[in-house]
Amino acid sequence: MNGKPTGKPFAKKSFGQNFLVDPGYIQKIVDSLALTEDDTVVEIGAGRGALTEILVEKAAKVFAIELDRDLIPVLRERFGTLPNFELVDADALTIDFSIFTRTEHKPKLVANLPYNISTAILQRLIDQRFVFSEMILMFQREVANRISARPGNSERGFLTVLVEAAFSVEKLFDVSPKAFMPQPKVVSAIVRLYPRDSEVRNEEAFRKLLTACFAKKRKTIGNNLKTAFGDWRQALETAAIDANRRAETLTMDEWLRLHEAILAI
């Protein structure tokens, strides 16, 4: 959520709201979008409109998604008369993002995601990623580190591999707690995601495989697999993966090989 530090309505804990108020960080996020006068932007959680204010100056069209009933009239009052602004009263966890494909160019997405639902929204964006040309998203730094973790990094997990299969991932910069009102207890981070074609065949089965392999991170991949798949040894042999390795060490190519081997048994 974004907005000005003065006046009501106040940030709501129930929505996980922390309003971004630091103009330096706001400008840095907008700069990351590299907007042109032809671009369309979708903003999740427009809040009081601090980021929106700059977006409407630079983009051809801005769709601002906001769920908070107290913030919707604030946004209407500030931007409702602008021809390139459209307020979307909706929940980002349930909205069909394809409604934004009515423009000639794929829109860009920007969002300061509430910490408590950030991974849920991210998984929804994975499924609808081709609506957008790119995404600039703010997460809790620990989540950003997790989704950008490389093979061998202990932070690499289920979400990492799921995101890597769907996006090119780039962590851009951290955001200090002092940039928000109220101040969160954690550092945030900005991540850029470029949607890409997934090589995964049968995504439901792939998620089942990842769930099994990361079920107990300290266990080897063999020990995790044997509780979920009968012919796990054959699958690992076919994929040329040592059963004594941990899931966090596998590259995307190895995950794809293992996935195909599991589908074949």
At 17 the pLDDT is 58
At 8 the pLDDT is 53
Residues 68 and 31 in one domain: yes
Residue with tokens 């703010």: 138
Q: What is the mean pLDDT of residues 121-140?
A: 95
Q: Is the pLDDT of residue 21 over 50?
A: yes
Residues 28 and 121 in one domain: yes
Q: Strand pairing of 61-66 and 85-89?
A: parallel
Residues 94 and 125 in one domain: yes
Chosen domain end from 163, 195, 227: 195
Residues 17 and 137 in one domain: yes
Boundaries of domain holding 252: 203-264
Residue with tokens 């609506």: 131
228 versus 17: the higher-pLDDT residue is: 228
Q: What is the mean pLDDT of residues 128-147?
A: 96
Residues 23 and 67 in one domain: yes
Say if 229 falls within a structural domain: yes
Q: How would residue 6 be classed by pLDDT, with cut points 50, 70 and 90?
A: very low
φ, ψ at 88 (rounded to 5°): -115, 110
Q: Is the pLDDT of residue 179 over 70?
A: yes
pTM: 0.89
Chosen domain end from 150, 172, 195: 195
Residues 175 and 259 in one domain: no
Cα–Cα separations (whole angstroms), residue 58 to 31, 85, 196, 216: 10, 11, 26, 47
Q: Is the pLDDT of residue 141 over 60?
A: yes
Say if 116 falls within a structural domain: yes
Look up the CATH number of the domain holding residue 73: 3.40.50.150
Q: What is the pLDDT of residues 23-32, one digit of tens each?
A: 999 999 999 9
Residues 151 and 189 in one domain: yes
Look up the CATH number of the domain holding residue 221: 1.10.8.100
Residues 235 and 109 in one domain: no
Say if 2 falls within a structural domain: no
Q: What is the pLDDT of residues 91-124, one digit of tens each?
A: 999 999 999 987 678 999 999 888 888 999 999 9
Q: Is the pLDDT of residue 5 over 60?
A: no
Q: What is the mean pLDDT of residues 43-58?
A: 94
CB 56 within 8 A of CB 62: yes
Split into its structural domains, the chain has a count of 2
Q: How far, in whole angstroms, is CA 180 from its chain's centroid?
A: 20
At 125 the pLDDT is 96
Strands (E), the chain: 19-20, 40-44, 61-66, 85-89, 108-112, 134-140, 167-175, 180-181, 188-195
Q: Is the pLDDT of residue 57 over 80?
A: yes
Outline where 81-177 has alpha helix (H).
118-127, 141-147, 158-166
At 182 the pLDDT is 85
Chosen domain end from 195, 223, 239: 195
